């Protein structure tokens, strides 16, 4: 046996290197690499979160960025009033008004002695001068509204006319055209509503005067009616 050598062939004085020691070093290297990768991943996530927060802040302040610096108004402790409720519909009042209107116009009213003796049977209330009748005939009073009673029954026409006149007076309308028809569609070719309409108009105090319309505005099938102004 040579000097300095052991029976196992290793140099004298050297100690064995266990296999688990080499494996432990490899594990430490892998752990170090993993920790580094985790740290880089967390840093990347942090940077991404900061960028997302910055973008969100920019989007949330688009309006403010577009108008520049603004100052928030102080809270003045104002109270928002409740929404206004719609006014109640006076159904019964309207029904009562309709009943009064229907009763106020009589079909038995004798109007012949109140009409002028001309061919058109015009009407003017006491105190209304002949010049008003002339202006109505010449068309100097322009009709601001109209009602067509064609096709209505007598009671329907009476109620419709009364409501129409009342509505026009409330609106301040001065001149209207009332179309009653010439009777061309009736069996006997007689204007059914012509005399009735004249009688109803004379009974309404808001009617100051009326004349037969000119040919272009209905002729004998219509009337031009002058109304009083509403009371102040």
Quickly state the pLDDT bin for 232 (edges 50, 70, 90): very low
Structure tokens at 214: 């000119």
Top pLDDT among 152 and 95 is at: 152
pLDDT value for 109: 47
CA 92 from centre of chain: 27
> Are 142 and 175 contacting, i.e. CB atoms less than 8 angstroms apart?
yes
**CA atoms 102, 103, 108, 110: torsion sign:** negative
What is the number of alpha carbons within 13 Å of residue 37 lying toward its C-beta? 6
Tens of pLDDT, residue by residue over 170-208, are 999 999 999 998 866 665 666 678 888 998 998 888 999
Lowest mean pLDDT among 78-82, 91-95, 172-176: 91-95
pTM: 0.51
The predicted-structure confidence for 96-146, as pLDDT tens digits, reads as follows 555 555 545 555 445 454 455 455 678 888 888 889 999 999 989 899 999
- Which pLDDT belongs to residue 88? 73
- Put the strands of the sheet holding 175-179 in their side by side order: 123-124, 207-212, 222-227, 175-179, 145-148
The pLDDT assigned to 162 comes to 92
Q: How many CB atoms lie within 10 A of CB 67?
A: 8
């Amino acid at each position: 046996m040579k000097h300095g050598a052991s029976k196992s062939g290793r140099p004298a004085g050297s100690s064995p290197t266990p296999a688990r020691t080499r494996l432990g070093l490899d594990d430490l290297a892998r752990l170090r690499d993993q920790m580094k990768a985790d740290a880089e991943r967390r840093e990347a996530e942090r940077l991404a979160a900061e960028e997302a927060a910055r973008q969100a802040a920019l989007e949330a302040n688009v309006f403010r960025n577009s108008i520049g610096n603004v100052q928030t108004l102080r809270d003045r402790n104002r109270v928002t009033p409740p929404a206004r409720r719609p006014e109640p519909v006076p159904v019964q009042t309207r029904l009562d008004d309709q009943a009064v209107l229907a009763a106020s116009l009589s079909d038995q009213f004798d109007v012949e002695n109140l009409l002028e003796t001309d061919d058109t049977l015009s009407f003017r209330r006491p105190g209304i001068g002949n010049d008003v009748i002339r202006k109505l005939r010449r068309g100097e009073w322009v009709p601001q509204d109209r009602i067509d009673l064609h096709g209505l029954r007598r009671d329907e026409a009476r109620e419709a006319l009364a409501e129409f006149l009342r509505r026009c007076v409330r609106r301040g309308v001065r001149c209207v055209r009332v179309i009653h028809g010439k009777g061309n569609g009736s069996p006997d070719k007689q204007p059914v509503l012509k005399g009735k309409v004249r009688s109803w108009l004379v009974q309404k105090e808001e009617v100051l005067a009326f004349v037969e319309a000119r040919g272009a505005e209905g002729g004998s099938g219509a009337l031009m009616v002058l109304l009083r102004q509403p009371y102040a």
